[in-house]
Amino acid sequence: MSSAALRLADRAPFIPREDRTYRLVPSDPAAGEIIIDHHSGIGKVPRQDPEIVFPRSALAALAKRGVIGALSPFHVSFMRGLRCHKEIESELAPAIAGDLKRAEADVALLMPY
């Protein structure tokens, strides 16, 4: 999971500052280019190489080598810095938890941004 508002280039962007949606990003690093939509001053380097803040290739390599178990078919990304705490607790978090449960994820690793 990442709070950097990541998405595949061909998916809908995160737009408003209080965007309470999330994106499912395929675990397969070959699935497409990652875009960072976060509104913070992230700097050039992570925008040029999102692997810095979202190590999708590294996680896939660890799974391939057997260091970690199988990956979920997707990773989750959302916008950090949201101040609508009630909606996060009652809408966003349960929706993400439901997707992770359906994917039978045993562990969720958060890459905070």
- Domain membership flag for residue 107: no
- Domain membership flag for residue 24: yes
What's the structural domain count of the chain? 1
- Domain membership flag for residue 62: yes
**Are 46 and 104 a contacting pair, CB within 8 Å?**
no
- Domain membership flag for residue 98: yes
Cα separation, 82 vs 13, in Å, equals 16
- DSSP H helices, the chain, are 44-48, 56-65, 85-87, 93-102
- Domain membership flag for residue 56: yes
pLDDT value at residue 71: 92
Integer-rounded Cα Rg, in Å, for the chain is 14
Question: pLDDT tens, position by position, for the chain (113 residues)?
Answer: 998 899 999 999 998 777 889 999 999 989 999 998 887 776 667 778 888 888 999 999 999 999 998 999 999 999 887 778 898 899 999 999 999 999 999 999 888 87
Distances (CA, A) of 11 to 7, 61, 76, 86: 6, 25, 13, 27
